[in-house]
């Protein structure tokens, strides 16, 4: 069905925090929302049923990685990304712009696009706005992202401005290249921590008329304080009636501060990456399960959590799994961490609806031993 208009509904506001929902071809998404990252069409170590059980509404997959392996045309021939990975809820695909940023020593950027060496075999590859859209249309994601240039933090003002201009130009080309009626295309606002450039970029993208907008280029070297100070004004540059997505962020505290600034959508590898490395997020703070203090503990990982891990296993058992390098340890803690993030966003949604979001944030941070 045609969904080039996301039909965003702003249900309630509490300060700048927003409780909303919007439509995709594979269902309606309730916001604020966190998206688990399934870079290569899988959330590492978890089956789709496990991910669904954590409360996830939407997954993120990556254009760059899937175009290299197994190839977007192969995925299209097998029925598209949803069928390929057996996930029937919405999927967002990143355009590959961040991977271009991370491959700085292996790529060359021009106004036409990017040429770079594959991190797999060194083969020369090219990515431009039209190709980025074609790949994502082959994948069949519900939300596609424009190709953008993500400038590194601390780059020269001239470099930053050129990246913004190029990102705007590429966004227009992405829009012109789009052919699918069942895929939302989000523009990406760049500009680092320069608010004047962020506003300029946002204005130009809004003029193009995307169904949703993302803030890219955060969490790339700036301090959490610098990001927090920039988020609220950057969110204000974006339309009230469209979803707002902060890319690649992050820690639970960052998510709450971003929701307070008016952001709706988030993704990050942190919950699963940390889970694979024996670090859990809990209602009372972080737990590092390799620490000897957990050996023999009969307590659940988080007594307030209803996930499969916390309802069935003890900290002592989890400690044992990581000490013996058993695969089940990373799986169980990844399940818990994703559940924690989904529950954090569910709590944000509920508190915005009741006008108690500020108290919710204060309570969460206090229990984590953090200041507002």
Q: Which residues are catalytic?
A: 94, 267
Q: Could you tell me the two tokens for 295?
A: 């050996």
Provide the strand spans (E) within the chain. 9-14, 17-24, 27-31, 33-35, 59-62, 91-94, 107-109, 114-117, 124-127, 143-145, 184-189, 212-215, 244-246, 265-267, 279-282, 285-288
Alpha helices by DSSP H, 246-326: 252-261, 270-276, 308-312, 315-323
Q: Tokens at residue 119, please?
A: 């991190």
Q: How far is CA 31 from CA 20, 192, 233, 342, in A?
A: 5, 25, 20, 11
At 315, is the secondary structure helix, strand, or coil?
helix
Residue 192's H or E segment, with its range, is none
**Residue 314 in contact with residue 261, Cβ under 8 Å?**
no
In angstroms, the CA 44 to CA 60 distance is: 12
Return the structure tokens found at 208. Answer: 């193009």
User: Are 61 and 139 spatial neighbours (Cβ–Cβ below 8 Å)?
Assistant: yes
Tokens encoding 40: 């290569």
Question: In this structure, are strands 9-14 and 17-24 parallel, antiparallel, or unpaired?
Answer: antiparallel
Provide the 3-class DSSP secondary structure of residue 346.
Answer: helix
């Amino acid at each position: 069905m045609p969904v080039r208009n996301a039909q965003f509904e702003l249900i309630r506001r509490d300060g700048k925090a927003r409780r909303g929902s919007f439509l995709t071809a594979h269902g309606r998404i309730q916001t604020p929302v966190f998206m688990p990252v399934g870079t290569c069409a899988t959330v590492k170590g978890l089956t789709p049923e496990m991910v669904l059980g954590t409360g996830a509404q939407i997954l993120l997959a990556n254009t760059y990685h899937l175009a290299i392996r197994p190839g977007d045309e192969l995925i299209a021939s097998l029925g598209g990304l949803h069928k390929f990975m057996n996930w029937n809820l919405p999927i967002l695909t990143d355009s590959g712009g961040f991977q271009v940023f991370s491959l700085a020593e292996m790529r060359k950027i021009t106004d036409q696009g990017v040429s770079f060496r594959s991190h797999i075999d060194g083969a020369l590859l090219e990515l431009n706005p039209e190709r980025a859209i074609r790949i994502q249309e082959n994948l069949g994601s519900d939300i596609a992202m424009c190709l953008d240039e993500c400038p590194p933090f601390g780059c020269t003002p001239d470099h930053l401005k050129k990246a913004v201009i190029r990102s705007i130009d590429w966004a227009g080309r992405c829009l012109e290249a789009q052919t699918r009626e069942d895929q939302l295309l989000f523009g990406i606002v760049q500009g680092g921590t320069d608010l004047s450039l962020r506003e300029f970029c946002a204005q130009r993208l809004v003029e193009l008329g995307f169904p949703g907008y993302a803030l890219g280029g955060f969490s790339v070297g700036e301090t959490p304080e610098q990001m927090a100070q920039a988020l609220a004004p950057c969110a204000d540059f974006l339309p009230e009636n469209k979803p707002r997505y902060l890319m690649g962020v992050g820690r639970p505290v960052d998510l709450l501060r971003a929701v307070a600034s008016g952001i709706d959508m988030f993704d990050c590898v942190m919950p699963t990456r940390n889970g694979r490395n024996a670090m859990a997020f809990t209602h009372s703070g972080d737990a590092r399960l390799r620490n000897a203090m957990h050996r023999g503990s009969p307590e659940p990982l988080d007594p307030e959590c209803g996930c499969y891990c916390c309802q069935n296993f003890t900290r002592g058992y989890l400690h044992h799994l990581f000490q013996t390098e058993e695969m089940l340890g990373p799986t169980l803690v990844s399940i818990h961490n994703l559940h924690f993030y989904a529950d954090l966003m569910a709590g944000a949604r509920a508190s915005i609806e009741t006008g108690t979001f500020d108290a919710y944030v204060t309570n969460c941070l206090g229990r984590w031993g953090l200041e507002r």
